A and B are shown apart, each in its own frame.
Chain A
């Protein structure tokens, strides 16, 4: 990329791609979690009802693809985080902030390994045998996704874009 864009811009763009993918994942999982936790009995209603009334099963493959893509891009930029973000965080005494990033990496992997069962349960959404497991794993993944997003956002505020 030498000459076209600076190294700093290159990694900032990848961080931005990570953010865009994460926003898509967060939206899809939140819709799905709301649909499964508070299913709509009657159509129409206000914005909250319509938010819950999505065809949740159709999100499953997209959620899996987005989780994997977000994971891969995050893994790619993680190498730069380790040197250019974490070391200054430690030098500045921001240990809890650094700890939350490590917490985030563990949660991302645990979420990743849940995807095969999550996908299977949603692809068989008409089977009541999987109803509770599907609801449970969807809510767990949604909570994880919100946690990952918020920690990433706070870390970016601490030392992220263009730093």
Chain B
């Protein structure tokens, strides 16, 4: 008679990435800082690149829409800048001693995105107040 019943009911062990304390620190630092960085990037208008969809032109950094060449698109660049900076902060956080990284409040992962929403709505004020 086999006695594997208990084993089969045990919760599966997390994968190596999910079991990694380093990855936990990276993931939480990335996700906590991401919404804040995105708001800052958008406020100061620091896209990594600007895309001009009418001409399929991609330029580094910010470039205003040029006359006769249609609109510019900054959102791709804002997103790219945010991911790069958040990833860098995540890597820096991984280098911290565990006694410090363990103190990062996990609740900030869902509190910061909620706090970001009022700013996002405010930043879109020209749309809401356009006559």
Contacts and interface: CB of A to CB of B under 8 A. Distances in A.
Interface string B80-97: 001100100010000000
Contacts of B19: 124
Interface string A103-118: 1011101111111111
A119 interface: yes
Interface in B48-107: 51, 53-54, 70-71, 73, 75-76, 78-79, 82-83, 86, 90, 106-107
B11 interface: yes
Interface string B20-31: 000110111011
Nearest to A103: B124
B interface, over-half SS? helix
Contacts, number: 119
Contact of B107 (A83, A95, A96, A132): A132
A41 interface: no
A120 to B, nearest CB: 4
A98 interface: yes
Interface of A: 75, 78-80, 82-83, 86-87, 95-96, 98-99, 102-103, 105-107, 109-121, 123-126, 129-130, 132-133, 136-137, 139-140, 144
